[in-house]
């Protein structure tokens, strides 16, 4: 696995604190997020990893306050620069969406308007957020952005409709549309998972270059640990509505400290031994209908102890930039909302 190796800034752009999101369904309350906390520095790429249903996309959508009923953000803070997104009025949040924070969805053709030429859609993104711009300059800037996204004959392509484009080309348009306003934060929700591997690599490389050129921070959601290794500076591993491990990408992927992360890494096929049987973490993700009152991984964990099914593990700090929520690290200092408590010298 190739690992990204970049120096990381420490200037916080986004800070999510103790975020709880519930969905009120006919079967009961689904506790989708149970106290998620993380931060993202300027010009940094943070990856959110984990199985389907662990809360990655709910976390991302919460940042833009895009949780629709029956979902509800119950508590927490989402500090973007110096504003708490959860306390802003709707007009202020709309101004942030697409301007300061953009989001790339998994399926580009579902997000592009089928009856508007793609170039006009990219230009429209500019016009919404810069009222001083005229349509002709917006179109020119849109075509420049299409060229930067590696789209051949940008002028001709910009006059096409989404159904005339391949999946890879549509995703390039989508990325151009999200980056043309030069957002401070880009949320990329499985941006290439619907594409084949070669196109995926090209698009990730182009996106990575563009993100660095315009100095944008990225919250990258992916279940693909290879993509995570190559594109992220830090990673947060989620399980059943919690972050269970977080740290520098090299540290987490080379020296995972939570049994779930260790299992997740074992599921990556070994290219050197193609005949080796694939590993699967035993058991299933638990129901989120019950509020959390113990380690949610306890039914599947080979190291589970008695206390694991009685108590919620705190987050233990292994190094300055590596932490895990697991009782196996009892004796290390506890990280509590940025405040560290040394258990030996409380």
Helix (H) or strand (E) holding 83: strand 83-84
Per CB under 6 A, 241 contacts ligand SF4: no
Shorter beta-carbon distance to ligand SF4: residue 23 or 297:
297
Least distance (Å) between residue 295 CB and ligand SF4: 3
Q: 103 - beta bridge partners? A: 187
For residues 80 and 297, which CB has a smaller minimum distance to ligand SF4 in the complex?
A: 297
268 vs 223: CA distance, rounded Å: 11
> Smaller CB distance to ligand SF4: residue 216 or 251?
251
CB closer to ligand SF4, 38 vs 327? 327
Phi, psi of 218 (to 5 degrees): -130, 135
Single residue of 304, 318, 321, 340 touching ligand SF4 by CB under 6 A: 304
Residue 237 sits in the site that holds ligand SF4 (CB under 6 A): no
- Identify the residue among 185, 326, 334, 335 touching ligand SF4 (CB under 6 A): 326
Nearer to ligand SF4, 62 or 298 (CB): 298
Q: Which stretch binds ligand SF4 (CB under 6 A): 97-105, 158-166, 280-288, 324-332?
A: 324-332
Q: Where are the beta strands (DSSP E) in 204-346?
A: 217-221, 234-239, 242-248, 315-319, 322-324, 333-336, 339-341
Question: How many amino acids of this chain bind ligand SF4 (CB under 6 A)?
Answer: 14
**Residue 101 Cα distances to 69, 172, 240, 244, angstroms:** 22, 18, 26, 26
CB of 291 to ligand SF4, least distance (A): 17
Facing residues of 79 across strands? Answer: 15, 84
- Least Å distance, CB 333 to ligand SF4, is 17
Q: Select from 119, 183, 256, 313 the one that contacts ligand SF4 (CB under 6 A).
A: 313
DSSP letter at 216 equals -
**Residue from 241, 327, 332, 334 in contact with ligand SF4 (CB under 6 A):** 327
Residue reference for tokens 């200037």: 11
Q: Which residue has the tokens 């930067």?
A: 148
Would you say 78 or 325 has its CB closer to ligand SF4? 325
Query: No. of H helices and E strands in the chain?
Result: 11, 14
In the block, which residue shows the tokens 């258990």?
343
How large is the C-alpha radius of gyration of the chain? Answer: 21
> Which DSSP symbol is given to 244?
E
String of contacts with ligand SF4 for each residue 258-297, x by CB under 6 A = xx-----------------------------------x-x
| Near ligand SF4 by CB under 6 A: residue from 113, 289, 303, 343 | 303
Residue 89 in tokens: 């009025």
Pick between residue 39 and residue 296 the one whose CB is nearest to ligand SF4: 296
Within 13 Å and on the Cβ side, how many CA atoms surround 134?
2
Quick check: 298 binds ligand SF4 (CB under 6 A)?
yes
Structure tokens at 235: 């990673």
Chain residues binding ligand SF4 by CB under 6 A are: 258-259, 295, 297-298, 301, 303-305, 308, 313, 326-328
């Amino acid at each position: 696995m190739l690992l990204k190796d970049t120096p990381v800034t420490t200037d916080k752009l986004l800070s999510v604190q103790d975020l709880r999101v519930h969905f009120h369904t006919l079967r009961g309350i689904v506790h989708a997020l149970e106290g998620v906390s993380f931060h993202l520095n300027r010009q940094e790429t943070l990856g959110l990893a984990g199985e389907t249903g662990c809360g990655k996309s709910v976390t991302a959508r919460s940042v833009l306050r895009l949780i629709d009923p029956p979902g509800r953000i119950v508590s927490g803070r989402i500090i973007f620069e110096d504003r708490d997104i959860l306390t802003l009025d709707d007009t202020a949040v709309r101004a942030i969406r697409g301007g300061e924070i953009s989001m790339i969805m998994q399926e580009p053709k579902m997000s592009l308007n089928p009856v508007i030429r793609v170039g006009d859609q990219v230009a429209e993104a500019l016009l919404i957020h810069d009222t001083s711009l005229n349509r002709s300059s917006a179109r020119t800037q849109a075509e420049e952005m299409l060229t930067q996204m590696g789209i051949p004959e940008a002028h001709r392509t910009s006059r096409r409709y989404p159904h005339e484009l391949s999946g890879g080309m549509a995703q390039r348009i989508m990325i151009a549309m999200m980056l043309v306003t030069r957002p401070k934060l880009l949320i990329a929700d499985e941006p290439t998972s619907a594409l084949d591997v070669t196109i995926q690599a090209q698009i990730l490389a182009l996106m990575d270059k563009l993100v660095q050129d315009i100095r944008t921070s990225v919250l990258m959601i992916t279940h693909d640990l290879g993509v995570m290794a190559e594109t992220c500076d830090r990673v947060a591993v989620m399980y059943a509505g919690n972050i269970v491990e977080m740290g520098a990408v090299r540290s987490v992927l080379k020296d995972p400290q939570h049994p779930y992360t260790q299992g997740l890494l074992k599921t990556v096929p070994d290219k050197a031994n193609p005949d080796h049987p694939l590993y699967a973490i035993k058991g299933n993700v638990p129901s989120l209908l019950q509020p959390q009152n113990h380690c949610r991984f306890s039914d599947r964990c080979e190291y589970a102890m008695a206390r694991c099914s009685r108590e919620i593990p705190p987050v233990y700090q292994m190094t300055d930039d590596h932490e895990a929520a697991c009782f196996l690290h009892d004796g290390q200092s506890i990280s509590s909302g940025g405040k560290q408590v040394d258990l030996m010298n409380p």
